[in-house]
Structures are given as C-alpha cells and as structure tokens.
Structure 1
Amino acid sequence: MNAAATTHTNCLRCGRTLRNPTPDGYGPKCRTKVRKAAVDLADYKAHQVTSARELIEDGAIIPLRSVVFIAVSTDGTETYRTAPTACTCKAGLKGSRCYHQLAARMLLAA
C-alpha cells in the first residue's frame, strides 16, 4: 500500500480529517464559511482585500494560537506573526493595517 495514500491532513478551522487534502487546508464546509465571513472591509483597499483572500486560498496563513497566525510574505521568503490588530510585516510595524491582519480577521470571523 502506498504511504502517500494513507496520509491525512486536518482542516485548519475545525480539525476534522480531510479525505481530499487541499492547498488551503480547509474542508468544503469550512472554506464556504471563511469565504462568506462578514468582515468590515471599509478600512482596507481593494488590493488588500484581494491579497488577503489569495493568502487564505493559497494556505499561506495558518493558526498558531487562538488569535495569532503565521502568514507567508507575497514572495514566499519571509513569515510574519499576525493577529487581527497587529502584524510583524513592515506595514504592521509602522502601525498600518495590512492584508495579513485582514486575512486573520476573515479566518476568525468564520
């Protein structure tokens, strides 16, 4: 029996075993909840909203603790600790809102 066929991953949101692992790490029901999550987007620019959604869909943001996440940079060379109100990226360290924070908000809203 192939070892790869017996390897399972768990949903990053609910922890259930995924029968068909996906790049974003979410099961179909949790993915729908994340996409439909109601988050106030008024303080974010359109490109930040797009980048946050891509970050989630690519599985480039994973939970570390209850409200703390690890997010991968756009070019994939760095990782940042992010939460809904703070981030260790350049924009976050300056006190600006970044798309990493928005992605964390979206995941927590689901």
Structure 2
Amino acid sequence: MQNTTHTHCLRCGRTLTNTKSQAAGYGPTCARHIRNAQVELTDYKPHQIQSARELIEDGAIIPLRSIVFIAVSTDGTETYKTAPTACSCPAGLKGSRCYHQLAARMLLAA
C-alpha cells in the first residue's frame, strides 16, 4: 500500500494530530467505530474480509461522495471507484463482490 500521511480524518474530517492517526487516516474514535461496525460478512471469504480491514487500516479507501469511495489497488498502482454494491475493479466489473465493496460497507456502517 501507499505510504501516505493524512492531516484530516477520512471519516469525520477532524484534524489529526497524532502521528499514528495521521498514518492510518482515522482518529482513535473513528477507528474504534470502524472496528466495531456491524456488517454482514457471510457472503465474503476470509481473505476478502482481511483485505477490506487492511484497506481501511492503511487509509487506502477515501470518501468521494455520499456512498462512493476511491480505493487503492493492493499493489498501489491503480485506483477504483467503489460503493457498497459496485466497484470498478476487475472483480467488480465481472459482477463479483470484492473487498473494496466490503470496505465501503464497513465504513458506511461505522
């Protein structure tokens, strides 16, 4: 993933002052809300759940508008538009559920 420092929380927009929060992209309260978010995971494989959590932890999924996000690919070379029900990644274009969609669901549930 990319090595990015965020100055504002990707969830609530507040200024981040802690270096750990700046690296993650989320303040401690928002990070806790995201970790505790209740999302239906039965349609996802364990590796997809882990990848979605890593995407959020790395601050590699950024809100664009209401339910649309920009997500960075695993290798950091591409970005995709994603929402809870669709994604522009190769899997999403085939109609499959991808971990980008799951990450978007997790963020919206927080």
Question: TM-score if structure 2 supplies the norm length?
Answer: 0.90
Greater CA deviation, 14-23 or 30-39?
A: 14-23
Instruction: For residues 1-31 of structure 1, give each alpha carbon's deviation from its aligned partner in whole angstroms, at most 9, with x where no partner exists.
Output: xxxxxxx811111111111142221000000
**Secondary structure at 2:23 match in 1:** coil
TM-fit CA distance, 1:92: 0.2
Matched residue pairs, number? Answer: 103
- Unaligned residue ranges in structure 2 (runs of 5+): 1-5
Matches within 5 A, 1:20-59: 20-21=18-19, 22-59=22-59
Q: Distance in 2 between matches of 1:80 and 1:49?
A: 18
Q: Secondary structure at the match of 2:65?
A: coil
**Alignment partner, residue 102 of structure 1:** 102
Q: Percent identity?
A: 79
The whole-number CA distance in structure 2 between the counterparts of 1:18 and 1:73 is 25
Separation of aligned partners in 2, 1:56 and 1:109: 13
1:5-84 equivalence runs, <5 A: 9-21=7-19, 22-84=22-84
Considering only CA atoms, is the larger Rg found in Structure 1 or Structure 2?
1
Q: Normalised by the size of structure 1, how large is the TM-score? A: 0.90
* Aligned mates of 1:28, 1:77 — CA distance in 2: 28
Unaligned ranges ≥5, structure 1: 1-7
CA RMSD of superposed structures (Å) = 1.1
Could you list the structure 1 runs, at least 4 aligned residues long, displaced by more than 6 angstroms after superposition: none
